[in-house]
Structure 1
Amino acid sequence: MVAMRQSARLGQLAGIPIGVHWSVLVIMLLLVQGLAQLILPRGAPGHAPAVYWGVAVVVAVLFLTALLAHELAHSLVARHYGVRVRSITLWLLGGVSQLDGEAPHARADLLIALAGPLVSLAGAGVFAAATAAASASGAGPLPVTGLAWLAVVNAILGVFNLLPGAPLDGGRVLAAVVWWMRGDRAAGRRAAGRAGMVLGGLLIAAGFAEILLSGNLSGLWLSALGWFVVAAAHAETTDAVLRKTLAGVRVGDVMTTPPTCGYTSESVGGFVAAVVRHHPHRTFPVLDLDGRLVGLVSLARLAKVPSADRGRVRLGDVSTPVDRTGVLDPADPLIGAAPALQAGGHRLAPVVSDGRLAGIVTSHDVARATELAGLGVTPDRGGAATTSGSQAPADLGR
């Protein structure tokens, strides 16, 4: 599923870390405004603005709770089948369950995908029943309107997510069905990706048609959603191809060794003159005097140091600490590192073995491994996957 960095941690549910992305604030503001100024006044006129805003906040929180239930259903079913769940993050377009691994078989993949939409549809039923109960008990039009809106929105959420195209849950259902029928996981993911790009294109076209035919700019939201679906579907298709192409390839098979590095004690000016200008990388590992990896330094960070200060500022002062960077092991599957490296274009990941820097992997290494696979050749750096820390980097900038 799509990766999403948490901006704030809310706590844990069933042992799963729950967090939110900053974009949740955007959707909350839009929901509360729409409810307080349009939906609630139309359904229950005659109340003070403060009442509408208060009820709108409660309804919006219930909606986010329903989104969380949707994602929690995915996560609990995934965990039932042995897939570790790293976290759940709520964001602008819903939620993301970060799963560490893949379903063991097609049936598990299908049930994991279906769990979220089924919970949303069940939630729609619960809110619909609550709407009927509130109406029958004479609770008044304001709570009835809020509950009815929650019923309709949860029904829309469940049905929309079942549309057959990645990255929607329906795309994962399609992928699981194709995998089940053909016995090929990668073929299922490719089919879901292609379907997602078609679906996204239709959403974009529908949004523009709404703008042209009705003059309603709300079609921009539909087009924006279609663009997101196309982009995410393309990413999933690319990832499916990579997984098939790079199956069995380890980080140590493609890493560059010995790595080009800098030391914490050397000056920015000296490092730029002696190393940076002669090498193609945009990011470099930084070691301490004992040869241990302490962080990474990028050209962008170096450029922020004023020219007059580059002779006295040390690399250790401007490097990003190693605990904030992704560190790989030579035995790691390359496919695990490939998406992040390719997304950054020129990103670099250090490879550490036995506590020592063994090499580096860049997006160029991933591209080369992919092209070699097209030739039917597996990358081989002469047993680099077993490189140990006893081999000191031979190309160190001092």
Structure 2
Amino acid sequence: MRQTARLGRLAGIPIGVHWSVLVIMLLLVQGLASVILPGGARGYPAAVYWGVAVIVAVLFLAALLAHELAHALVARHYGVRVRAITLWLLGGVSELDGEAPHARADLLIALAGPVVSLVGAGVFAAAAAGASASGAGPLAVTGLGWLAVVNAILGVFNLLPGAPLDGGRVLAAVLWWVRGDRAGARRAAGRAGTVLGGLLIAAGLVEVLLAANFGGLWLVVLGWFLALSAHAETTHVMLRKALAGVRVGDVMTTPAVCGYTSQSIADFVATVARRHPHRVFPVLDLDGRLVGLVSINRLAKVPRTDRERVRLGEVSAPVDRAHVLDPAAPLIDTAPALLAGGHRLAPVVTDGRLTGIMTSGDVARATELAELGITPDRGGGAATTSGSHAPADPAR
């Protein structure tokens, strides 16, 4: 997940937040200041409730960060590199670069976060009890008690057995330990996560429709997110197994469909864009070097009367904005992004020259062939399919 703002580093790990954290912060502060704190501690001015609510919300985000940091530190202990930790609307994400070396490590990495959340719940509960015993006032007791309850819920909820929750990773680690099949264990956790997401959606809809409680919409949103994430994880596991050892050059479409900087928009649309299914096309200079990309949407913004005059080189996006691939790169590192993009296209380049193009269709075909036990091999342009076309003539 892309960070909107970088907060710094903890234990050498980059820490950041996604813009959606602002949404959850506003909702938390509003709920605490308007409902939770006044309900547990009456008689304070509104400004006091709002001030304490901000402090409690910040402590809650700190608890989320501690949860993710626990995952990250245990992962690093077992040799797994941690790229970053990002806090967002529905919690936090520890971006791990690599796999746990064995099932025991996978289990401990997964358990670390919920354990820290449950320990945090105990610490906040003890602090609330201490505040009450010392006469610190009902406002402090209410805030600390809320933090204890929320951390307990966070720890228990994350232990539910379905990916992408920590409990799903615990389930996958246990199944891997028992069966010795990492990929199969992760597929099972992904299926469990899909079922769990569906149950949460159903529970939310029941709450909305039968109890007329629109708070159930949060369950619907959460269930929808879990189901989508579980499906994505299952797909990634299947891709990694099916595409192991396959390179971008084995799968790319070649020769590539492309345009040229000197070609008019009208000619390019008539001879290339209208005949091929892509929405984005590479643009080459007259020496055959990749200089940019052009989309149909971008071409459509040029007035019809100017399309004979305007050249592709004038409207193409610079190549430094493109996701350029190396034919020797492992396909599994590229496949998820292309599949998620639907009609995404990425140029494949060697020494600045266009070697081919990669689309989600190329990835899907390679996956289907791999499932048949066939290794795709279209590197070097020796073979083509009905989706491969020769470059446009630059003289046109």
Q: Structure 1-normalised TM-score?
A: 0.91
Q: In structure 2, do the counterparts of structure 1 residues 359 and 121 end up closer, same or farther at CA, with 3 Å as the change threshold?
A: same
The farther-off stretch of 109-118 and 262-271 is 262-271
Task: Determine which of 163, 167, 175 is the counterpart of 1:166.
Answer: 163
Corresponding residue for 1:389? none
Tell me, in whole angstroms, the C-alpha distance in 1 between the residues paired with 2:72 and 2:266: 50
The 1:13–1:323 alpha-carbon spacing in structure 2 relative to 1, beyond 3 Å, is farther
Question: Alignment partner for residue 42 of structure 1, among 39, 43, 63?
Answer: 39
Higher mean alpha-carbon deviation, 217-226 vs 290-299, is at 290-299
Q: Does 1:308 align with 2:305?
A: yes
Q: Does 1:211 align with 2:208?
A: yes
Equivalence for 1:331: 328
Query: Hey, what does 2:391 align to over in structure 1?
Result: 395
Instruction: Report the CA distance between 1:161 and its aligned residue.
Output: 0.5
Q: Could you tell me whether the CA contact under 8 Å between 2:259 and 2:391 is conserved in 1?
A: no
Report the CA distance shift for 1:131/1:375 in structure 2 as closer, same or farther (over 3 A).
Answer: same
Given the alignment of the two structures, is residue 82 of structure 1 paired with residue 79 of structure 2, yes or no?
yes
Equivalent residue of 1:165, what SS? coil
2:223 to 223, 226, 236: 226
Q: 1:318 to 1:384 in 2, by over 3 A?
A: same
Q: Is the 8 A contact 2:249 2:379 kept in 1?
A: no
* Letter of the 2:316 counterpart: S
Task: Give me the TM-score of the superposition, normalised by structure 2.
Answer: 0.91
Q: Does 1:360 align with 2:357?
A: yes
The residue that corresponds to 1:299 in the other structure is 296
What amino acid maps onto 1:308 in structure 2? T
Uncovered stretches (5+) of structure 1, i.e. residues with no partner: 386-392
8 Å Cα contact 1:117-1:161 kept in structure 2: yes
Aligned-partner SS, 2:327 = coil
| 338-347 vs 6-15, greater mean Cα deviation | 6-15
Would the alpha carbon gap of residues 19 and 296 (structure 1) be closer, same or farther in structure 2, given more than 3 Å must change? farther
Change in 2 beyond 3 A, CA 1:65/1:275: same
- 1:135, distance to aligned residue in structure 2 (A): 1.9
CA RMSD of aligned residues (A): 2.2
Please state if 1:268 is matched with 2:301: no
Q: 1:142 to 1:276 in 2, by over 3 A?
A: same
Runs of 4+ in 1 over 6 A off after TM superposition: none
Aligned residues of 2:252 and 2:379 also touching (Cα < 8 A): no
Shift of 1:265: 4.6
Rate the CA distance shift 1:289–1:11 in 2: closer, same or farther, 3 A. Answer: farther
| AA matched with 2:60 | F
Q: 2:255 aligns with which of 253, 258, 262?
A: 258
For this pair of structures, how many residues does the alignment match?
Answer: 388
Q: 1:327 to 1:163 in 2, by over 3 A?
A: same
Residue pair 1:131, 1:148 contacting (<8 A) in 2 also: yes
Q: Residue 395 of structure 1: SS of its match in structure 2?
A: coil
- Between the aligned partners of 1:40 and 1:397, the Cα distance in structure 2 is 72
Cα–Cα, structure 1 residues 219 and 369, in superposed 2: closer, same or farther, change >3 Å?
same
Query: Any idea what SS the aligned residue of 2:302 has?
Result: coil
